[in-house]
Amino acid sequence: MSKTPDPSFPAAIIAVEHVDKSVTDSTGTLDILRDIDFSLAPRETAAIVGASGSGKSTLLSIIAGLDTPTRGTVRLDGQDLFALDEDDRAALRARKVGFVFQSFQLLGNLTALENVMLPLELAGRRDARKAATDMLARVGLSGRLGHYPKVLSGGEQQRVALARAFVVEPAALLADEPTGSLDFATGEKVMELMFDLNRERGTTLVLVTHDQAIAARCERRITIEAGCVVPNQEVFRPLPPVKWQ
């Protein structure tokens, strides 16, 4: 007899299923990730933490479908990423996932507005200019639409990157050390904006970070140690966001 789905338990937007990752060379095989298994619900915020070299960034790349697991799979909004060919996987990623990197990854020959318009234009959106303009206004950059990345501060560049990530209304945002190259005050403002957009848009947020204060603001902390998830993960209550005058 089938059960009626319980609406209090939303379906996972990200499901990492028994993922292993290893690489082999002339010296032997190195296990990077071993039996990683967890899921994240819509709107959930999670920090992936661990020492350098523990496999955090590799895990994030596999969740994004940018790297392939040796074993296991990842389901994004119910679709098995690694059952798709590369073109279909890229198309799904473009629709469902936004990215924010420590190094911003803005195109230097495009203005702030053009950088944010780009994923919309690739998706065939006719309202790309308006949507990008509105999103840049949301992150406080209405006065920087025509500026190129080289004349923007680090905090401004990261806000452009946030606007580009959120403008496609992704189901999940993946961020790899998003404040790693910013000073403390600028980093706090960027994180406050990221969590505000998470709440406004219902986006699942996955952060790789070494910053324990940032990790503590997430609802979950997933600790990677020697390529494995440390068991019995505690669920955290997010701390109140910093309020800026």
Rounded mean pLDDT, 53-79: 93
Tell whether 128 is covered by a domain.
yes
Residue 25 located in a structural domain? no
Residue 7 has pLDDT above 80, yes or no: no
Taking a C-beta distance cutoff of 8 angstroms, is the pair 23, 68 a contact? no
CATH number of the domain that residue 153 is part of: 3.40.50.300
In a domain, 212, yes or no: yes
Q: Is residue 165 part of a domain?
A: yes
What angle (nearest 5°) sits at the alpha carbon of residue 147, between those of residues 142 and 148? 140
d(CA 241, CA 224): 26
Q: Is there a domain that residue 133 lies in?
A: yes
Q: Within 10 Å of residue 205's Cβ, how many Cβ atoms?
A: 24
Q: Average of pLDDT values for 69-80?
A: 95
Q: How confident is the model at residue 1 (pLDDT cuts 50, 70, 90)?
A: very low
Tokens coding 199 = 């709440």
State the distance between the two ends of the chain, measured CA to CA, in whole angstroms. Answer: 57
The alpha carbon of 194 is separated from its chain's Cα centroid by a whole number of angstroms, namely 10
pLDDT at 174: 94
185 in any annotated domain:
yes
In percent, the amount of the chain with pLDDT more than 90 equals 59
Res 53: pLDDT = 84
Rounded to the nearest integer, the mean pLDDT of the chain is: 87
Name the residue range of residue 177's domain.
Answer: 44-68+85-229
What mean pLDDT comes out for the span 79-88? Answer: 95
Query: What pLDDT is recorded for position 147?
Result: 98
Give mean pLDDT, residues 218-227.
92
Residue 53 in any domain: the answer is yes
pLDDT of residue 231: 83
Total count of domains within the chain = 1
At 145-202, the pLDDT tens digits run: 999 999 999 999 999 999 999 999 899 999 998 888 888 888 888 888 889 888 888 8
* pLDDT interval class at 232 (50, 70, 90): low
The one-letter code for the residue type at 202 is G
Residue in the structure block whose two tokens are 């496609």: 168
**Residue 166 host element (H or E):** helix 154-166
7 found inside a domain? no
pLDDT confidence band for 238 (50 / 70 / 90): low
pLDDT attached to residue 9 = 46
pLDDT for position 233: 58
At 131 the pLDDT is 96
